[in-house]
Every structure is written in C-alpha cells, then in structure tokens.
C-alpha cells in the first residue's frame, strides 16, 4: 500500500499545481461504481452502437470535428494506431524531428521510413517545423505519403498549421498533427489555433494535459475520410478491457465544456494574459514568447538569474508550494488550465517575483552550444530495431548506424534515431546532452 499512501500524503500537502493533469485534483469522480465492463447497457468501444457511440459524437460536436475515437490508452496509442493504419511498410513520411517517443515507436512498428525536418532554436529551445523547410522536403521527396508534425510543442510553441495544410493539400497528402498539448484550443472562440480548424486532417489529442479529465484520457479527432482504417489501427493498440472510468471522464468533459467550460477557459486565459504582462517586468526572469505561442503555457528562462534551475524549482515548491510541469537546464514550465484560479496565478507571480529578488541578477551566458542535426536514414527504424547490434565506443561510431534511440532534455528532440547514420555532429550531441561514451550500433554485416 506504499504507493497509495504516498499519493494520499502528497495530496494532503495541498501544493498549487501548474502541471498535468489539467483537472488539478478538482474533479469529483467516484471510481469504483463507474468501473464496469462491456454490458448490454454500457456498449462496446470496439463496436460502439449505443452510449459510447453517442458519447463520442458529443465529444466530436464539442470539439467541432466530424469524428472522434476515444483513446483510453492515451494519445500514445493514437500515434501508434494512426501510423499502423495509414501506412504500408516502406512508405515515406515527413516527420517533425521534435516528436514524442511514441512517434519513433510508431515508425518501428509500421516500417515507415521517416524524412526528418530540420530544427531551429530560440533561447536553446526547439522551434516548431517551418513551412519553408517542409516545402523544400516535399519538392525533394515527391513520394512522401503524409506530413506529421507536433504542434504545440512541450514549450507551447505553435507551428503554422494553415500553411502546412495548404502544402499538404497541394501535394494531396494528409496533414497529421500530434496536438497532445493543444486540446484546449478547440474551446477557444471559433476553435482558434486548433489544428483541425486550421486545416489539418487528423489530430491526436491528449485530453488530460490541458482539460479536466483523468490522466490517460486521449482521443483522435479528424475530418478525413479514413475513419474505418484509423479505427481498425487503434484497436491494435487498445486494451480489450478499456477503462469505463476514463471513458466516463471524457463523456463528462463534453458536457462540462458545453455548459461552462468555454467560459471558464476564457476567464483563465484573460487572467493569464495579465500574468504574462507582469512576468515580463520581473527583471531577472525572461518570459519565452515566439511568433505563435499558447498563452496558458508559461515558459521562463533563467539566463539572467543567478541560480540553477534545480534551486529555483526547489525554492518554488518548498517556500511557495508551487509545483511546475517540467524543467530543463535553463527553463521552467508551468501549465495553466481552466481548473486553476486567479488566486493561484497571483501566487505564481508573487513566488516568481520573490525568487528573482532572492537570487538576483546574472550576466546572460548564451555561449553554450545549440545542437545541430544532419539526418541521413541508412535504414528504416524498423529494420534497425530488428537487426543485430553491438555496443561501440563513440570514438568508433562515425559512419555507423544507430541501433537505439536517444532523446534527452535538452534539446528535447531525438539526438540519435534507430537507423540513422551517425555523423561527427551526432557523436558531439550524444557526449554533450546524454553524457555517454558508447552507443548501440547495428552490426556492420547487417547494414
């Protein structure tokens, strides 16, 4: 019972949550009475014809899209299912290198050969894929079957989905968006910034990150004509005993957002805009803002503050009871949802201001290196996964084929991918960001 005890003990400390899940511990959902199975009354997720079918339609209407599939196994199962459903082994797809690990796993399972986009950076953070780079790759690789991008990314930065959609339509291929961190956009006025409303064909949603549902609630939302194929693909990565507790939470989400959720989201977004204005004036902290960003994702750089990220994180938690979503070596991230309050946002501002005063100013050091990537896929991730491998020192790795994935924070994007031919730059990235001196490589006789 130690896990259960730890969870209750943590809840009793009453921290102020600026992390996932989006409900912030403020929804009332009695567990055991809703935890049932497929019955005459409760329908069947794999063959919905009753209450589950109706609930999915209600969520689709709530999001403003044609179709929705519940993902009680989370958005990860959506990424896996979409790749498995839409592609054949050997197909090529343009893939945003700044992607979730489940996308890399989807490449392994589907046998798709990725053509990775280049990554640009702002304050050492990876920016979303740029349409000009996508256009160039589409012209260079005319046999691409789809465009797959992440928007927004973990730091709340948005890709220009409208331009990417125009490119996809021009080449008659689907635009698929991992929108795990952008589910709340669908409840902005007219769905502003949401991928489907900007022209994407398919969106994979992690509902729990920004909305009041339980962890692991996800959905695929789409306006494409591939409903049956996607549904079949998702089945392969979904438990045959899906949680009715999670599906009930998604059912309640549509009802809540219809009744009051949009209004609550609008209010907290307005409060967050005010909060951002105040944070900009804190002298030793730098608020990250790009051309397109999510106002409810607060990302702060400590490049001008005389502290480490660990000291800042610990100070906020121990002194002010504020828990962030995540940190890297120079940034701290806070997620604000409709379940946060104006008072909690004031507490966050007061804590950040106090932290700035406590730690003081530091001369900005922007000389640390930003990673660069020169991707050449020598074989598909699937072929590399099933090849025989050997561990080799990095000093011997240039020209060899990566036999493992390596993803680190920062730069929060894969610095080595299964099947990728490693370059001198790859080796430098591994040493710098992973602190390793060896890597699994495909045996040369298999390459």
Dump pLDDT digits (tens) for 16-47: 899 888 888 787 666 677 788 888 899 999 99
Dump pLDDT digits (tens) for 117-134: 988 889 889 899 999 999
When pLDDT is cut at 50, 70 and 90, the band that residue 369 belongs to is low
pLDDT, position 414: 86
Least confident of 166-180, 276-290, 364-378: 364-378
Dump pLDDT digits (tens) for 218-227: 999 998 777 8
Mean pLDDT within 284-296: 95
Whether residue 367 is predicted with pLDDT greater than 60 in this model: the reply is no
Residues 6 or more apart whose CB falls under 8 angstroms from that of 24 comprise: 17, 337, 339, 340
Q: Report the alpha-carbon distance of residue 276 to residue 331 in Å, rounded.
A: 16
pLDDT, position 366: 60
Q: Which two three-digit tokens encode residue 79? A: 């990424």
Dump pLDDT digits (tens) for 61-70: 999 999 999 9
Residues 6 or more apart whose CB falls under 8 angstroms from that of 54 comprise: none
Least confident of 150-159, 398-407, 427-436: 427-436
Whether residue 411 is predicted with pLDDT greater than 60 in this model: the reply is no
Which has more pLDDT, 308 or 435? 308
End-to-end CA distance of the chain: 49
pLDDT, position 48: 94
pLDDT, position 189: 85
Cβ atoms 303, 365 nearer than 8 A: yes
In the chain, % of residues over pLDDT 90:
75
Dump pLDDT digits (tens) for 245-264: 899 899 999 999 999 999 99
Whether residue 204 is predicted with pLDDT greater than 70 in this model: the reply is yes
What's the angle, vertex CA 319, arms to CA 334 and CA 317, rounded to 5?
Answer: 35
Mean pLDDT within 400-417: 83
């Amino acid at each position: 019972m130690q896990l259960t005890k730890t969870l209750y003990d943590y809840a009793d400390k009453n921290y102020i949550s600026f992390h996932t899940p989006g409900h912030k511990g403020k929804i009332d959902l009695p567990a055991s009475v809703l935890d049932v199975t497929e019955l005459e009354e409760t329908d069947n997720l794999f063959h919905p014809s009753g209450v589950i079918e109706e609930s999915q339609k209600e969520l689709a209407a709530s999001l403003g899209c044609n179709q929705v599939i519940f993902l009680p196994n989370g958005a990860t199962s959506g990424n896996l299912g979409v790749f498995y459903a839409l592609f054949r082994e050997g197909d090529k797809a343009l893939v945003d290198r700044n992607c979730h690990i489940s996308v890399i796993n989807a490449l392994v399972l589907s046998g798709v050969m990725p053509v990775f986009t280049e990554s640009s950076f702002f304050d050492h953070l990876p920016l979303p894929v740029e349409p000009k780079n996508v256009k160039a790759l589409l012209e260079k690789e005319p046999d691409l079957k789809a465009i797959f991008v992440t928007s927004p990314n973990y730091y709340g930065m948005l890709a220009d989905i409208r331009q990417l959609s125009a490119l996809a339509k021009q080449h008659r291929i689907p635009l698929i968006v991992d929108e795990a961190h952008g589910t709340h956009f669908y409840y902005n006025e007219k769905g502003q910034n949401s991928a489907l409303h900007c022209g994407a064909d398919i969106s994979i949603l992690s509902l729990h990150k920004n909305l009041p549902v339980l962890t692991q609630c996800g959905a695929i939302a789409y306006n494409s004509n591939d409903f049956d194929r996607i549904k079949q693909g998702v089945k392969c990565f979904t438990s045959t005993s899906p949680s009715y507790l999670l599906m009930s939470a998604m059912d309640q989400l549509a009802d809540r957002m219809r009744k009051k959720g949009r209004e609550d989201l609008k209010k907290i977004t307005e409060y967050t805009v005010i909060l951002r204005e105040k944070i900009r004036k804190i002298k030793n902290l730098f608020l990250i803002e790009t051309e397109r960003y999510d106002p409810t994702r607060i990302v702060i750089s400590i490049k001008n503050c005389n502290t480490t990220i660990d000291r800042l994180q610990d100070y906020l938690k121990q002194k002010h009871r504020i828990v962030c979503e995540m940190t890297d070596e120079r940034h701290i991230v806070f997620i604000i949802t409709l379940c946060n309050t104006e008072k909690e946002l004031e507490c966050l501002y007061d804590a950040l201001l106090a932290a700035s005063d406590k730690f003081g100013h530091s001369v900005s050091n922007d000389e640390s290196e930003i990673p660069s990537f020169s991707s050449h896929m020598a074989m598909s991730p699937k072929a590399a996964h099933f090849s025989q491998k050997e561990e080799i020192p990095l000093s011997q790795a240039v020209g060899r084929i990566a036999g493992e994935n390596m993803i680190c924070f920062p730069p929060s994007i894969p610095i080595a991918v299964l099947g990728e031919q490693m370059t001198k730059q790859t080796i430098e990235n591994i040493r710098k960001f992973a602190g390793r001196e060896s890597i699994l490589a495909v045996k040369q006789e298999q390459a």
